[in-house]
Structure 1
Amino acid sequence: MTKRLRFRVDELKTDIGVLKGLELQVGKIVEEWEEPEGPTPMPSIADLRKWDYKLLQRYKPMYLPFCDLCCLCTFGKCDLSRNKRGACGLDISTQQSRIVLLACCIGAATHLAHARDLVEWLIENYGRNAPIDLGKQVFLEAPHVRLVTGIKPKTLGDLEDALDYAETEVTRLLACTHIGQEGSNLDFESKVFHAGMLDHVAMEIADIAQTAVLGFPKADP
């Protein structure tokens, strides 16, 4: 877990002189956990791909295309019916998984935008050090954020690093949908899993922030 530190002294008298307007700022301080860190904190698109492929090979996706055209880039329109391929080389299965990834990115981006606006507004009005308190009966305040990012949030400011990570990853996922550049439809499906993971992080951040600060019902008896 990381924390930011800012220290300011208007006037400090020492044996060697008087210091005025002293201000020190440390970008991040790493806080050790009680348990060891997992193997993939803040995973990139490729970090969990092997595990994704194990799932996708066991539970193969089935596509029911509602459209056999691709109209997403200036190479097209491309007819993908009857086993045809588009100008970039993708087939109908790859196109369908690409559309699914786009839809998941839209959903994740929506929840991230809401979480970002909420956290920034709360920090502006309540301060970055406002504590995260979800009630005495909650012993694991942020399971998704902890598991995915390795951050154990204690204040509103701690949620910003998790938001930064998720926003960066969604941007990378969207870049992958530009043209049919993936090797197979399973490449896109692996990224769909990644987008879903980020979406859960975003929703949890918003829930934690509003519950901790805005007086929403907590897990108290």
Structure 2
Amino acid sequence: MSSFPDTIAGEVTGELVIKKSRFITHARHVESVDEADAFIAEIRTRFWDARHNCTALIVGQTADAQRSNDDGEPSGTAGIPMLEVLRHRNVTDLCVVVTRYFGGILLGAGGLVRAYSSAVSETLDTATLVHRRLLNTYEIHTFHNESGRIEYFLRDWLAHHEGAWGEPVYTHRVTFSVSIPPEHEAELGAQLAAFTSGAGILDFVGSAVVDMPA
């Protein structure tokens, strides 16, 4: 399976209270570092009265842009632990902000690391995960009188092979569009040929990284 780091859908929030300190987490899907920076600015404006708004982000199809910020917490006790949670979960295009309202009780370096890590981890547990896969797209051309049975075959095959169905095009013929993992091309080609007595052929269109529900 040709795969890339996962991401999440939309935004999720969570809250932990540890020794009277409140840790409020916001995690949002972002498409760029600029979008992540805008999200961070939004949260910091909304929670302007908090002592800390610590951040971590990973952006890029291959998770190439990574940043974190302790925002006044002791160095290495907030941003980096948050970022490590994202790395461990192999996610990208994701920005996390943990807002802390100090409760008057010091947690110590180890306590802060655990608190910020837990805040991010528990919030991401509630997120809708989105898998990213490299898929090849193919067109299959057929006549109208054969289109019903071929559509049924293709839809059923895709449902069992992590494929995606495209919108059919109806002209003097019917053109179906399917996207499948590259390693399944030979299997689909052979089964389609057998199902159509050699008439069905996969016509390669191109490749793209596609978001797939987990």
TM-score class normalised by the smaller sequence: under 0.3
Q: Report which of the two has the higher share of strand.
A: 2
Higher helix fraction: Structure 1 or Structure 2? 1
TM-score, reference length from structure 2? 0.22
